[in-house]
């Protein structure tokens, strides 16, 4: 009798040990599944979204982003089963979750520091940018000239002296204040424009000569009209942003960084310094303004690698990469373009208000409507 009881006790012990091990394994599996599910919840909350998304677009006369936004909003809405509305802004900016437009249009809105999802933080970190406020740039432009024939330009002075009896030297929109401001700043290496500056005088003198042989038929052209002028080979050189180089339909084209002034005035020595190497100054373009931080999902979508690749290749909007990190999937890039893109995010310029406030005077000098000397206030003018 004693032996039988002992055997039963041993058998019960083994059974309990086995059950404990099974329970432990089940608990481990349960907590593992709970952890993975929690990670997915946190990830979805980071790139969060609501079922109704309202998008605003600030219009501009030069380039129309609405069809691009409709395309990507359609993809995003289908993937996440949401409804969206896209409308142009009309003094009702607070009604929209996200507002798209040019950076210079958005930077005057109510800026605030926000906490971004890890996916978006990584996107900007990979591109060498530290973004902390509620404007997210999606476009970093430097200025290039496209040509249908091979050749090199050393500086602005050389470009201004080129003349063709059958083609215009330059095609660009001279009447767009922001574009002309960027171009003057880019060419003169001056972020702040002073009409008393000898460097600015030299730069405007070159533009005055260049304008004489510019295409006057497209002074107010929008982007597609300018692109049409280029395709029609009306100009020796046509001005674009560098994103145009990635567009899939661009063929038989040659490019160069827009040539800059050969000389910069040295105030200390009282002489002009010779500038040998061009600097690819860059400017934020197409950007997003975040009104509602519960709608990060769309920005997570727009910054995905495959979406960015498709934007560069298939949309003729000259949206430009933020750095070489965005071009890993691009083969056979134009010669020298990697070097330019690698330097862009190290030379970002914000167009100063002082340039825009003087742009009508600057344009008058370029158009020969005013004499430069009559605008100078300084008594120490270089004779």
In a domain, 201, yes or no: yes
Q: Is residue 15 part of a domain?
A: no
In 170-281, where does DSSP find H-type helix?
177-188, 198-212, 223-231
Q: Are residues 110 and 203 in the same domain?
A: no
Contact 148, 233 (CB under 8 A): yes
Which pTM was predicted?
0.84
Q: Is residue 9 part of a domain?
A: no
Report whether pLDDT(35) > 50.
Answer: no
Domain range for residue 106? 52-140+284-341
CATH number, domain containing residue 306 = 3.40.190.10
Residue 179 near residue 172, CB atoms below 8 Å: yes
Query: Whole-angstrom Cα distance, residue 36 to residue 42?
Result: 10
- Name the band, by pLDDT with cuts 50, 70 and 90, for residue 22: low
Site of tokens 């990507």: 72
Tell me if 6 is assigned to some domain.
no
Q: How sure is the predictor about 51, in pLDDT bands with cuts at 50, 70 and 90?
A: very high
pLDDT, one tens digit per residue, over 242-267 is 999 999 988 778 999 999 999 888 88
Distances (CA, A) of 185 to 41, 110, 282, 341, 362: 48, 26, 11, 19, 11
One domain, residues 155 and 257: yes
The answer on 236 and 371 residing in a single domain is yes
Residues 218 and 332 in one domain: no
Name 86's bridge partners.
Answer: 55
| Position 226 in a domain | yes
Decide: 247 and 316 in contact? Cβ < 8 Å.
yes
Same domain membership, residue 187 and residue 97: no
Residue carrying the six token digits 């003057």: 184
226 and 319 housed in the same domain: no
Q: Which two tokens stand for residue 316?
A: 């003729």
| pLDDT value for 292 | 94
In angstroms, rounded to a whole number, what is the distance separating the alpha carbons of residues 53 and 75?
Answer: 13
The tens digit of pLDDT for each residue in 215-244 reads: 999 999 999 999 999 999 999 999 999 999
Who has greater pLDDT, 15 or 356?
Answer: 356
pLDDT tens-digit profile of 311-366? Answer: 999 999 999 999 999 999 999 899 999 999 999 999 999 887 778 888 999 999 99
Residue 19 lies in a domain: no
Residues 227 and 356 both lie in one domain? yes
Q: Are residues 206 and 323 in the same domain?
A: no
Q: Are residues 158 and 243 in the same domain?
A: yes
How many domains does the chain fold into? 2
Clarify whether residues 92 and 212 are in a common domain: no
Residues 163 and 236 in one domain: yes
User: 364 and 226: one domain?
Assistant: yes
């Amino acid at each position: 009798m004693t032996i039988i009881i002992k055997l039963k006790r041993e058998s019960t012990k083994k059974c309990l040990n086995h059950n404990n091990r099974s329970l432990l394994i089940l608990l481990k599996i349960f907590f593992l599944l709970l952890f993975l599910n929690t990670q997915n919840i946190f990830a979805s909350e980071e790139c969060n979204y609501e079922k109704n998304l309202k998008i605003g677009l600030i219009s501009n006369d030069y380039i129309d982003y609405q069809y691009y936004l409709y395309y990507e909003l359609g993809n995003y809405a289908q993937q996440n089963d949401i409804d969206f509305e896209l409308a142009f802004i009309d003094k009702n900016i607070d009604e929209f979750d996200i507002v798209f437009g040019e950076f210079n249009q958005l930077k005057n809105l109510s800026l605030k520091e926000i906490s971004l999802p890890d996916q978006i933080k990584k996107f900007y970190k990979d591109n060498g940018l530290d973004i902390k406020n509620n404007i997210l740039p999606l476009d970093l432009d430097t200025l290039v000239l496209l040509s249908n024939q091979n050749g090199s330009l050393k500086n602005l002075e050389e470009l201004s002296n080129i003349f063709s009896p059958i083609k215009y030297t330059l095609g660009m929109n001279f009447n767009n204040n922001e574009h002309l401001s960027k171009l003057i700043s880019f060419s003169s290496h001056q972020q702040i424009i002073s009409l008393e500056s000898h460097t600015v005088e030299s730069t405007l003198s070159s533009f005055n000569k260049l304008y004489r042989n510019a295409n006057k038929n497209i002074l107010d052209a929008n982007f597609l009209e300018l692109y049409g002028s280029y395709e029609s080979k009306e100009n020796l050189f046509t001005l674009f942003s560098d994103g145009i180089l990635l567009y899939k339909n661009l063929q038989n084209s040659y490019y160069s960084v827009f040539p800059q002034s050969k000389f910069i005035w040295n105030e200390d020595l009282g002489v002009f310094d010779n500038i040998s190497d061009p600097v690819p100054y860059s400017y934020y373009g197409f950007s997003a303004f975040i009104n509602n931080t519960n709608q990060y999902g769309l920005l997570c979508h727009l910054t995905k690698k495959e979406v960015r690749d498709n934007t560069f290749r298939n949309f003729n909007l000259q949206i430009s990469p933020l750095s070489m990190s965005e071009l890993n999937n691009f083969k056979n890039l134009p010669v020298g373009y990697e070097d330019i893109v690698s330097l862009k995010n190290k030379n970002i310029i914000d167009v100063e208000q002082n340039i825009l406030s003087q742009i009508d005077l600057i344009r008058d000098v370029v158009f020969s409507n005013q004499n430069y000397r009559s605008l100078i206030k300084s008594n120490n003018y270089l004779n």
